[in-house]
Amino acid sequence: GHVNPAVTFGLFVGRKVSLVRALLYIIAQCLGAICGAGLAKGFQKSYYNTYGGGANTVSDGYSKGTALGAEIIGTFVLVYTVFSATDPKRSARDSHVPVLAPLPIGFAVFMVHLAAIPVTGTGINPARSFGPAVIFNNDKAWDDQWIYWVGPFIGAAVAAIYHQYILRGSAIKALGSFRSNA
């Protein structure tokens, strides 16, 4: 299931999801994030207020450029892993090695969090950043909100283009015909 607008956007760029479906998924993901943040506030109000509603903000000591870079790189890693782990050609080629796609995807998310939490709180999911910003409604969360949309969408687009059009593209396959068989 798609729970991340950046992944959905990457799949759209990679021509695996139609524009209408991608837009509807992104709207549903954002509405789900708002509902989730509302439930978190309703059930754990003291923790919710203590931890700033879970809203992502750029940490003190980091510039917005550094935060944007962290979001781009982190989302690239995530979306590239999604493409690689769910590639149907990979499944056929490596059929002797059973691979569960959630395992490498979850590991990629874990590794990105280790690196990016100190910088941005690790957005890499625009809906996850948007829902808490809507419910908590803090100025700082809204000031930085663009980073949690622009960064992941750039990272997702680059990952999709790299995987679909460079690694799996016909131009790379054509280069193989220039190799000598001797």
Q: What is the domain count for the chain?
A: 1
CATH number of the domain at 98, please.
Answer: 1.20.1080.10
Question: Per the domain annotation, does 181 fall within a domain?
Answer: no
Question: Per the domain annotation, does 91 fall within a domain?
Answer: yes
| Per-block mean pLDDT, blocks of 10 residues, the chain (182 long) | 92 94 97 96 92 92 96 97 82 58 91 96 95 91 93 97 82 50 51
Question: Per the domain annotation, does 51 fall within a domain?
Answer: yes
Q: What is the pLDDT of residue 139?
A: 87
Phi, psi of 15 (to 5 degrees): 65, 35
Q: What is the pLDDT of residue 176?
A: 53
Question: Per the domain annotation, does 129 fall within a domain?
Answer: yes
State which residues form the domain around 33: 5-166
Question: Per the domain annotation, does 180 fall within a domain?
Answer: no
**The whole model's pTM is what?**
0.86
Q: What is the pLDDT of residue 163?
A: 92
Q: What is the pLDDT of residue 171?
A: 46
